[in-house]
Amino acid sequence: MDESPRGWGVIPSTGIPTIAFGNQKGGTGKTTATLNSAGALATRGHKVLAIDMDPQADMTKGLGLGPGDDTNPSSPKNELPNTLVTDDANLLDVLVDNPRTHETGLSEIVIEAGEYDHLNFDLVPSHKDMGLARDWMDDASARLSLKLALEEMVDDGYDYDFILIDCPPDLSVLTDAAFIAAQNVFLAAQTQATSRDALDDLWDQLESIEDNQQIEIAIVGLLANMYRDDGQSKKFLSAFDESFASMAPIFKLPMRVAIQRAWDNGRDIFEWEDPNDQQVERELFLEIAETMERAFDKTQVEA
Ligand SMILES: Nc1ncnc2c1ncn2[C@@H]1O[C@H](COP(=O)(O)OP(=O)(O)OP(=O)(O)O)[C@@H](O)[C@H]1O
Ligand SMILES: [Mg+2]
């Protein structure tokens, strides 16, 4: 591990290492990777902010802050509020109003880790209104909205070691805003032939953002999710390896029941004690956290 490269991540304008978890293909593990990487970085002593940019709000729900679970009355989710329906300011207000009026800042809508026992990192939740983003975020400033909002948050005194952004499964303005704010992308893919086509489109999108915005974007890692040791997976990974292995480490995560169960109970895997062994997934996400530290030349923070 120690001989691998350090410091290949791009530090964005806020000065805080920021990583967007992307892939326009649906159901590849973006949200799973975002919330469990946030949990792993927090476990290693870092102060982390996770931002849910997806109108589907899966990360907010996966941390228990969406609707409860009618089918399981004992789910810890039922005791937590549903932040998706609040009448207070929400993330869409920040992204739409802030570039024009500077009225609604991220600091107004962030849920701080100290507010809930199970939360080890701060969260900017999604909201039901985020579904209107396509209609409202239609001018040139919209793509810069998250970057500007993060710069203001840092000016307001918020300081984080890492910011992680969960992207929706598309190449919409929300995803662009996340890529521009982060300048670092962590890919979550399933190792199938169709995933290769999706990644080709994603490279094109990243290149076009680099050209248009005159910025550099780094690939920080690839999660080969629901990995199976078969020919399909090997073929996919060797194709990825050829282009990116030197800069983007690949993490293989098999199907693990406890990941789904932690999610169903509104927790990351470090906050969830499962009847099944959780060593494989916990070790993998701690390794991802270590890699993120190396990408930005940071070290674990001693408790
Ligand atoms: N390795 C895994 N083992 C078990 N369950 C998993 C694993 N990875 C993801 N899942 C489950 O699969 C579902 C889809 O994963 P996830 O929501 O993270 O994908 P996504 O890429 O964020 O989806 P979307 O594109 O809709 O945003 C979730 O219910 C999640 O709990
Ligand atoms: Mg998702």
Burial of 181 (0-12, 13-18, 19+ CB in 10 A): buried
pLDDT band, residue 85 (cuts 50/70/90): very high
Stronger pLDDT, 191 or 270, i.e. the higher one: 270
Domain count, the chain: 1
What integer pLDDT is reported at residue 303 of this predicted model? 62
Q: What is the pLDDT of residues 258-280, one digit of tens each?
A: 999 999 999 999 999 999 999 99
Neighbours of ion ligand 2 (CB under 5 A): 30-31, 58
| 199-219 mean pLDDT | 94
Query: Domain for residue 184, yes or no?
Result: yes
Query: Domain for residue 265, yes or no?
Result: yes
Please determine, for residue 3, whether its predicted confidence score (pLDDT) is greater than 70. no
pLDDT band, residue 1 (cuts 50/70/90): very low
Query: Domain for residue 2, yes or no?
Result: no
For all residues of the chain together, what is the average pLDDT? 92
Backbone angles phi, psi at 209, to 5 degrees: -65, -40
10 DSSP assignment: P
Query: Domain for residue 6, yes or no?
Result: no
Handedness of CA 143, 145, 151, 154 (dihedral sign): negative
Give the ligand whose atoms come closest to the C-alpha of residue 224: 1
Please determine, for residue 4, whether its predicted confidence score (pLDDT) is greater than 70. no
DSSP line for 18-70:
EEEEE-SSTTSSHHHHHHHHHHHHHHTT--EEEEE--TT-HHHHHTT-SS--T
Provide the domain limits for residue 217. Answer: 18-294
pLDDT band, residue 90 (cuts 50/70/90): very high
Q: State whether residue 160 is helix, strand or coil.
A: coil
Q: Among 127-131, 164-168, 188-192, 207-211, which is the least confidently predicted range?
A: 188-192
Query: Domain for residue 175, yes or no?
Result: yes
Query: Domain for residue 10, yes or no?
Result: no
* pLDDT > 90 in the chain, percent: 78
Rounded-to-integer distance, Cα 195 and Cα 188, Å: 10
Query: Domain for residue 303, yes or no?
Result: no
Q: What is the atom index within ligand 1 of the atom nearest the CA of 167? A: 27
| Nearest CA residue ID for atom 9, ligand 1 | 29
Q: How far is the CA of 285 from the centre of ligand 1 (A)?
A: 15
Query: Domain for residue 302, yes or no?
Result: no
Q: pTM for the whole thing?
A: 0.96
Short-list 28, 23, 25, CA closest to 226: 28
Domain harbouring 121, CATH code: 3.40.50.300
Q: How far is the CA of 105 from the centre of ligand 2 (A)?
A: 24
Q: How far is the CA of 190 from the centre of ligand 1 (A)?
A: 10
Ligand 1 pocket by C-beta < 6 Å: which residues? 26-32, 54, 56, 58, 169, 188, 225-226, 253, 255-256, 259-260, 263
Please determine, for residue 117, whether its predicted confidence score (pLDDT) is greater than 80. yes
CB–CB of 124/154 below 8 Å?
Answer: no
Q: How far is the CA of 6 from the centre of ligand 1 (A)?
A: 29
| 225-234 mean pLDDT | 90
Q: What is the atom index within ligand 1 of the atom nearest the CA of 27? A: 23
Q: What is the atom index within ligand 1 of the atom nearest the CA of 25? A: 25
Q: How far is the CA of 137 from the centre of ligand 2 (A)?
A: 20
Q: Which of 25, 30, 31, 281 to mutate to test the pocket of ligand 1 (most atoms within 8 A of CB)?
A: 31
pLDDT band, residue 101 (cuts 50/70/90): confident
* pLDDT > 70 in the chain, percent: 97
Q: Inter-axis angle of helices 231-244 and 193-213, to 10 degrees?
A: 20
